[in-house]
Amino acid sequence: MRVLVRRCWGPRPVCGGPGGRPSPQWRALAGLGGSPAGEDGRGVRVREKPPWRVLFFGTDQFAREALQALHAARENKEEELIEKLDVVTVPSPSPKGLPVKQYAVQSHLPVYEWPDVGSGEYDVGVVASFGRLLSEALILKFPYGILNVHPSCLPRWRGPAPIIHTVLHGDTVTGVTIMQIKPKRFDVGPILKQETVPVPPKSTAKELETVLSRLGANMLISVLKNLPESLSKGRQQPTEGVTYAPKISAGTRCIKWEEQTSEQIFRLYRAIGTIIPLQTLWMDNTIKLLDLVEVNSSVLADPKLRGQRVTPGSVVYHKQSQILLVCCKDGWIGVRSVMLKKTLTATDFYNGYLHPWYQKDSQPQPRQCRFQTLRLPIKKKQGKKIVAMQQCIK
């Protein structure tokens, strides 16, 4: 059994570089200056092997999975991988805080709110869905730097919303990258570990997040078990294949009936629709589309539907399947429920709005009964609300 003697983490013999100091190779890969000899600037030598002292930075459910894995490793006294685990998160309007804070409080882990990072001694930092640029001065406080658990195969989908953009663009393969943080820029540091997985057909961003969060947590533990070796084998990201995953704006949820195909609308729904409802205009009123479904070929073959003249946005109620059929650029999508003042089923919407509209005109034209694209003005407050919602799906 190993006995750890605390004495302010003063100098202790380690191996790896000259005089028992770790190799500075990871600092060069990460584009960092500072002390190259494995010291934290105060003459304190670093450990060459576990157990590690870890400071975790995170916010959402994806990050919570990584934190949970670190906590489980700390509780596993036989493996001796994590000795100390503290948490940094960001302020939240909710009294309970974001998922990472909730878990940390429940698990009795020390929690700091950014920009406060405490004053403890740590070996390595870990970031997952944190959304804040970390300074070089902060990174250099960690002898082994700061690792980032990123849910994409970098350099594809650098940025704050990689899972959303994976679904939105119909990627068939994705993955997780464990990389090192570089100062001043997001997601450009050297890759320590990367694994790919197929994207399940028709999966939502939330469903994909669950898959990738578990994969990322397992990969993180694997890297920490061989941290010095993983750092020494880090590789720079390719210069080709770089794409960006910016935060979703408020206007993204507004369906453009004349421009978007049914496939594009369903991708949008799977990417953000379960968190941020898609919306459109009905008779100058904003209406949210809550439950979208693909339209069965037998429905499309209905003579009543095929014989009508329609334009993108036209709305038809299909009684047999009890859905609203909405025409888009290349076909139809189905809507089971909407929100207009309150939540309505397709049948409720027909009885309350469509049927009375038809009764007002003795010769109504289906192409006149339509949803219209909602053009939102740019508002700072609205943008902040969307950003807050996206903390649920990085």
Cβ proximity of 115 and 96 under 8 Å = no
CB atoms under 10 Å from CB of 112, counted, come to 17
pLDDT band at residue 382 using 50, 70 and 90 as cut-offs: very low
Does the pTM exceed 0.75? yes
| C-beta separation of 117 from 88 below 8 A | yes
Contact 186, 272 (CB under 8 A): no
Name residue, tokens 């890969």: 29
Question: pLDDT value at position 221?
Answer: 98
Other beta carbons within 10 Å of 135: 12
Range from 19-33, 93-107, 299-313 carrying the lowest mean pLDDT: 19-33
228, 184, 205, 201 alpha-carbon torsion, rounded to 10°: -70
Looking at residue 385, its pLDDT comes to 46
Distance in angstroms (rounded) separating the CA atoms of residues 20 and 132: 34
Closest C-alpha to 307, from 319, 295, 316: 316
Whole-angstrom distance, CA of residue 321 vs CA of residue 334: 10
Average pLDDT of the segment spanning 170-197: 96
Distance of alpha carbon 368 from alpha carbon 332, whole angstroms:
16
Mean pLDDT of 86-109: 95
Q: What is the pLDDT of residue 37?
A: 40
**How confident is the model over 265-309, as pLDDT tens digits?**
999 999 999 889 999 999 889 999 999 999 998 888 887 777 677
Cα–Cα distance, 38 to 243 (Å, whole number): 34
**pLDDT at position 310:** 83
**Tens digit of pLDDT for each residue in 119-176?**
999 999 999 999 999 999 999 999 999 999 999 999 999 999 999 999 999 999 999 9
How far is Cα 43 from Cα 81, in angstroms, rounded to an integer? 24
